[in-house]
Copies of this chain bind each other. A is one copy, B any other.
Amino acid sequence: MALDYSHDPSRDDKNLIVHTEKPFNAEPNPKDLISNFITPEKYFFCRSHGNIPNLDEASHKITIEGINITTPKRFTIQELKTRFEKKSIVMAMQCAGNRRDGLHKVKHTEGVIWGPGAVANGIYSGCRLKDVLESIGITEQMGHTATLHVAFQSVEKCEEDECYGSSIPLSKAVDEFGDVLLAYEMNGAPLTRDHGYPIRIVVPGYIGARSVKFLKSIRIQDKESSAYYQQHDYKILPENVGSIDDAENYWSITPAIGEYNVQSFVCDPPSGLVDVPILANAQPVKVQGYALSGGGRSIQRVDVSGDDGNTWVHAELQSQPIAERTSAYTWSWTLWTAHVHVKAGVRLVSRAVDSAGNIQQEFPVWNFRGVLNGAWRTVKPTSVIEEQ
């Protein structure tokens, strides 16, 4: 049965490039994306797998059940708000398919052909999943059993499955420093419908696919979620897998993605090229972009090149000040600015180094689902048609 999108919210106040209307998938233009350290909702990418449910916060309940829980527990949003401490974190939300367009240029990929805007930096507030689980007897110690997972399901009806489902290891959920939230606010206001109203999971340091919106249920179980979005999507298939048929032999033996990789992008100039001739000895051009890494790793350096990677300058970094952090790890993105000598029509690229010394490679290693593209920007050097 086709999904009914007629009750989706209005998006008149958003300023996004729309990839698909039904379901609604849209991203900002690159310059808007980096115009704020905390991304306003109008520039916040939307990733949907179905129509947007129209839920009532007052009556909505979430259920928690599974291993070590004898009878399912139910919580209203009001209970979550009043019984548990509120925590806020600044966190980059990044779709695993961010910059899929770069891999799609190499060879056909399956999925929404995102440019560099399927990432944003939000302030999420809510209660810690850890605190809620502990209140019903799920302890930190249970996280040592590496085979236990926490599965989430949404109310949302989806194109590919009955509802949206995904999971994370229990260890991440109960880690004192994991900061997994049952979030009811973004940027200081109640979640909007497009971003998961009335309640969503946010999993910092992980791909956005694990931050389930319109949350309906949580289950402690001895395997990953069996949902389509855990088992048949969001995996880095090896290069030899080039079709949906090939993929069938690889889904079950390929790990699901959790943390994401090191990433950066030149957002201004948005084309990644300067298309007017620059005189010799001209002033350097101001170049700006973003950088981030998964798993709580910070960005230690961003190098920027105006001559296709032959020479590099260091960007000035705008990171979240450590004094303002409410977490032991870095969940926020970093914005950066560099002043670079450029030539007309020559590729402008950035290369981030994260705190573990991971560094972006020049050449993408293609994968069929086009996920976790962390290579340098690919741009046709003889034109101003850019990656996106």
Instruction: Give chain A's interface residues, CB within 8 Å of chain B.
Output: 140-141, 143-144, 146-147, 169, 171, 174-177, 236, 238-239, 254-255, 257-262, 294-295, 297-298, 300-301, 303, 312, 314, 322, 325-329, 351, 353, 355-363, 365, 371-372, 374
Contacts and interface: CB of A to CB of B under 8 A. Distances in A.
Top 3 nearest A-B pairs by Cβ distance?
A: A171-B328, A357-B372, A361-B361
Q: How many copies of this chain does the complex contain?
A: 2
A357 B99 CA distance: 14
A143 B176 contact: yes
A293 to B, nearest CB: 8
Specify the main secondary structure of chain A where it touches its partner.
Answer: loop
A2 to B, nearest CB: 34
B328 A357 contact: no
A11 B361 CA distance: 41
A282 B177 CA distance: 53
A150 B145 CA distance: 27
B255 A357 contact: no
Nearest to A326: B144
Contact of A357 (B260, B312, B322, B362): B260
20 contacts: A141-B176, A144-B176, A146-B322, A146-B327, A147-B322, A169-B328, A175-B175, A175-B177, A176-B176, A236-B301, A238-B301, A254-B300, A258-B356, A260-B356, A260-B357, A261-B356, A262-B358, A294-B356, A359-B361, A359-B374
Contacts of A260: 356-357
Contacts of A258: 355-356
Of A143, A169, A328, A353, the most chain B CB neighbours within 10 A belong to: A328
A257 B174 CA distance: 26
Contacts of A171: 177, 328-329
A325 B294 contact: no
A52 to B, nearest CB: 29
A297 B259 contact: yes
Given A175-B175, A351-B365, A359-B365, 17 more contacts: A144-B326, A144-B328, A169-B328, A171-B177, A175-B176, A236-B300, A236-B353, A236-B357, A238-B301, A255-B298, A257-B355, A257-B357, A259-B357, A260-B356, A295-B295, A358-B374, A359-B361
A140 B328 CA distance: 11
